[in-house]
Amino acid sequence: MAEERAFDGVLVLGAGVVGQFAIASAKRQGAGRVFALDRIASRLEHARAQNAETVNFDDEDPVAVIGELTGGIGVDRVIDAVGGDAESPTTGSPPPADWTPGGAPAQAARWAVGAVAKAGSIGVIGVYPPGFDEFPFGLAMNKNLTLHMGNCNHRRYLPDLLELVHSGVVDPLRFITQHEKPTAAIEACETFDRREEGWLKTVLDVA
């Protein structure tokens, strides 16, 4: 949906498990440079393991950094893997004790439009609620951007994806960071929702 082409510069917003696969996909499609944006150190570390250049939005303004790294042009493509659960920068603030919504539902959308180059494209795979109405259309229109979004058409992509896994080209197991028993499901979900370090993808082992 982001219309990636060979040698493109690609920014992935969000380095959770969806963002990690977006990075892997961008690399497979021949991206020249891939940037990953997040605030959780362990997720950024996973992105760097895929040779992505990382930006911690708690430490620096992502739009300014991407502009600087691309000579003021911006990236060709942006993949928004965050959606409406986006968070504002909170430098120095501890993570919440309990799960809370992101609190900045338009943040990822604004960063996407701000960081992409003129005539670039944005693919939105992060979920936005039906009532979301804060997209920066004015800036997007004046940059001549192309925007694609929507839920995944699984039936279209699964055969090719399964072949990539079967052939060993892609190893989805590398992104599993925790194994828990089914009896710990609620606690595991609560820990993941608090966005704690090290929690990328959890598997409940039933055997």
- 180 and 151 together in one domain: no
- 131 and 186 together in one domain: no
pLDDT in tens, the chain (207 residues): 899 999 999 999 999 999 999 999 999 999 999 999 999 999 999 999 999 999 999 999 999 999 999 999 999 999 999 999 888 887 555 555 555 567 889 999 999 999 999 999 999 999 999 999 999 999 999 999 999 999 888 899 899 999 999 999 999 999 999 899 998 899 888 887 777 788 888 899 987
Report the DSSP beta bridge partners of residue 129. none
Using DSSP's 3-state secondary structure scheme, residue 203 falls into strand
The answer to the question of residue 3 being in a domain is no
Identify each DSSP E strand in 14-138 by its residue range: 33-38, 53-56, 75-80, 116-124
| Domain harbouring 64, CATH code | 3.40.50.720
- 58 and 118 together in one domain: yes
Q: Are 29 and 2 in contact (CB under 8 A)?
A: no
- 200 and 129 together in one domain: no
Instruction: Compute φ and ψ for 157, nearest 5 degrees.
Output: -100, -25
Q: pTM for the whole thing?
A: 0.89
Domain count, the chain: 2
Q: Computed from CA positions of residues 59, 62, 66, 68, in that sequence, does the dihedral angle turn out positive or negative?
A: negative
The residue range of the domain holding 184 is 176-207
Q: Are 77 and 11 in contact (CB under 8 A)?
A: yes
- 23 and 95 together in one domain: yes
